[in-house]
Every structure is written in C-alpha cells, then in structure tokens.
Structure 1
Amino acid sequence: SPSLNPKLLFGLVLEFWDGKIYLCLRELYPATVKKYARRAQLGEILELDRATLKSDSVFPSSPRCWFTFKHTPFTFLFFFGHI
C-alpha cells in the first residue's frame, strides 16, 4: 500500500471517548499526529498516572470472572424476553 504523505495528515485530530479513538478533521500540527501515531505503533497511546494510581493499566481478572461478566447480560435478555 502507498505511504501517506505527511502533508495529507494536516488537520487530523485524535479524540479519546470512552476508551475509543475517534479521528476528526480539525486544525492540528502534523508533529502532534506523528507523536500519537508512533505511540499507537508502540501500543501505549494514553499517558496514565501510574504513581498516583499504582497500576500498570492492566486490570487482572480470572477467566471465570470474564465468563460470568459476559454471560450475565445474555441471561437477563433471555429471561426477560420469555416472560
């Protein structure tokens, strides 16, 4: 695939809402876009305050917990859908 010309990236803004990244066209410097693009390639876009939160942005949980968390809404939908 062809590489993007840096001049074409002018006006691109990254917005973070509810943990999702949205791209918007606004006035922005290409250096800022380049900074976030490099962070995205390295896997860490957001800067977290690790000293205060004492976390590494990973929320440990067991597979059993995720199984329960994912199946609970479907259980309610099934139950209330058949009443």
Structure 2
Amino acid sequence: MNYRILAYPLALIALMSFAPAGLGEPQPARQSFAEWGGDRLAWTCDFKGEDSDGFDKICAYDCAGSRKEIKIDKFDHCPASIKV
C-alpha cells in the first residue's frame, strides 16, 4: 500500500492545528509620533515675563524657542516654570 497518500492528509491536519482559531479582537490603529508624544512627553518652559490684562495677568514662557502664555488671576504670582 502506498503510505504517502495517507501521509499528506495527516501532515495537513497537523499543520492546521497550529493555525489561529479566529480573527480575535481587532488591533487599534497605530498612533503617529505627534499623537504618541502629546501625552507622554513634557517640555519645561522657563518664565520670561508678565503683562496685565484687566483682572488677569498674562505670564509668558519660553518653550524650546517658542512662546507659550497662560492667564492667571491678577494677584497671583507667575510660576517660575510650567510643563506643557
């Protein structure tokens, strides 16, 4: 009897046992670097100056070469640095 005829189906059954059962849960889309870094990276910005705006005070900061401003109450002190 030719045993190769029986060996092929047995080999296929053995290989199919290692196949995944189903698709499973879908994987989330990968984030771009800008999206990923938005909530994981923090820049420390140093205080540069302040200005008065009615009942508010505007505190200016230098964030790696770009300017960032925050508004606080006129009677509060500007923080020495902020994280963005």
Give me the TM-score of the superposition, normalised by structure 1. Answer: 0.21
More strand per residue: 2
Which of the two has higher C-alpha Rg? 2
More helix per residue: 1
Give me the TM-score of the superposition, normalised by structure 2. Answer: 0.21
Kindly indicate whether structure 1 or structure 2 has the higher relative contact order, using CA contacts under 8 Å at least 6 residues apart: 2
